[in-house]
Amino acid sequence: MKLTLRLFLLCGLLTASVGAVYAQKYSNEFLTIGVGARAHGMGTAVIASQQDVYAAAWNPAGLAGLEATRGLELGAMHAEWFGGVGNYDYLGVTLPLSSKNQRLGFSLIRFGIDQIPNTLSLYEADGTINFDNITEFSAADYAFLGTYARAYIRGKQTLRVGGNVKVIHRSIGEFASSWGFGLDLGAQLQRNNWTFALLGRDITTTFNAWSFSFTDTERDVLAITDNDIPINSVETTNPTLILGVARALTLTERIGLTAEFDLIATTDGKRNTLVSADPVSLDPAFGLEADYGKFVFVRAGVSQLQRIRDFDNVEAINSRPSLGLGLKVGQLFVDYAYTDLGDSDGRSTYSHIVSLRLGISPKPQNSK
């Protein structure tokens, strides 16, 4: 089953690459999956409330929510998608600058499908099949983010702004590779218990330049099997705008609650979202986080609302629900999420996500 799924996903990757000149609606879609179990537990509705090392991937302005006294913060995540066929990993670090209320962040994201069989050399020159000729390769997407964020504090109001410079590398074995560059800009405005956020992802439009390298023998095999031979091309990722609002509540002396609503506006044409139009489609997301003493967290969320029809042409709303837990032990945060990827047929493909966050505070200096 996993072998079949790997082959299916590879065909999808190659098809997307071949058609890159004509359609880029889902270009660099691996970056929209998102990092951190907290965010996934809240249905990915976090652009207003995420204020830790993972904020670099959600809203770079959120890095400025970490005070300089928090020092260095490290983050790591591992998740398995499609029954363990795809692996999604993240490493990140953020550190304060000497200037007040400023931070830098560096993040590395990888989404890869490994152990894909290469059957282009399956046949010998005389037409016989030789399974010893099968080799394996990986199809992987990488993104490096360099983040800068700054906070401006005036009374009870705090404005945070930040930006990402993205370098993207995608590869399909030795057959294809691409390099891309992009820019994200974000802001968070916090006043009392309310936080309003705006994010412009791929605000300048992100470009990926693809190049392909097949041997003459591999090209012959592709031609004989009626497969298109890819050509060098450029694909683009259109800007996405996200609006978010979060409210923090104190229910009791020990129990707190944070609720957030996000509205995602894509600009690459009609998508299967709750509000679908051309060129802008709207996709809402909602998340909740309850905490006890700021050391135990329970989360829930819903996102990716889609209109689907069954065989009787009856329309229904499909969604991606999620649940999550979090635990704080000293400066170590351990988060877990259980979320449903779903698909267009309404089938459920639940995945487990685990992420860690570790703070390293500077030692206080003794006054003389």
| pLDDT at res. 26 | 62
| pLDDT at res. 208 | 85
Q: Which residue would you say has higher pLDDT here, 115 or 149?
A: 149
Give the global pTM: 0.82
Tokens at residue 254, please?
Answer: 């020990």
Q: What percent of the chain has pLDDT over 70?
A: 82
Bridge partners, residue 68, by sequence: none
Burial grade of 136 (CB within 10 A; 0-12, 13-18, 19 or more) = exposed
pLDDT average, residue stretch 33-60 = 95
Q: How many CA atoms lie within 13 A of 182 on its CB side?
A: 28
| CB neighbourhood size of 71 (10 A) | 16
pLDDT in tens, 16-29: 443 333 345 567 88
Highest mean pLDDT: which range of 6-20, 31-45, 312-326: 31-45
| pLDDT at res. 3 | 42
Residue 185 has pLDDT above 80, yes or no: yes
Per-residue confidence band for 55, with pLDDT thresholds at 50, 70 and 90? very high
pLDDT average, residue stretch 121-142 = 72
| pLDDT at res. 182 | 92
| pLDDT at res. 177 | 86
| pLDDT at res. 356 | 96
Q: What is the 8-class DSSP label of residue 363? A: P
pLDDT average, residue stretch 186-213 = 91
Tokens at residue 11, please?
Answer: 């065909």
304 touches 320 (CB < 8 A): yes
Distances (CA, A) of 295 to 72, 326, 333: 20, 8, 9
Per-residue confidence band for 121, with pLDDT thresholds at 50, 70 and 90? low
Which of these, 244, 249, 339, 316, lies nearest to 285 by C-alpha position?
Answer: 244
pLDDT in tens, 64-86: 999 888 889 999 999 887 666 78
Q: Which residue would you say has higher pLDDT here, 319 or 226?
A: 319
Residue 245 has pLDDT above 90, yes or no: yes
pLDDT average, residue stretch 280-286 = 93
pLDDT average, residue stretch 185-208 = 93
pLDDT in tens, 142-170: 999 999 999 999 988 999 999 999 999 98
320 touches 32 (CB < 8 A): no
Strand boundaries in the chain, DSSP class E = 72-81, 86-96, 102-118, 135-154, 157-172, 176-191, 194-201, 206-212, 233-237, 240-250, 255-266, 281-292, 296-309, 315-329, 332-340, 350-360
Q: Which residues contact 248 (CB under 8 A, 6 or more apart)?
A: 49, 193, 195, 256, 257, 258
Residue 132 has pLDDT above 60, yes or no: yes
Residue 299 has pLDDT above 90, yes or no: yes
Per-residue confidence band for 173, with pLDDT thresholds at 50, 70 and 90? confident
Tokens at residue 81, please?
Answer: 């998608």
| CA angle (104 as vertex; 256, 140 as ends), nearest 5 | 90
| pLDDT at res. 6 | 43
Tokens at residue 37, please?
Answer: 């179990």
pLDDT average, residue stretch 171-183 = 86
Average pLDDT over the chain reads 83
User: Residue 365 — φ and ψ, nearest 5°?
Assistant: -85, 135
DSSP string, 57-101: HH-GGGGGGS-GGG-EEEEEEEEEETTTTEEEEEEEEEEE-SSTT
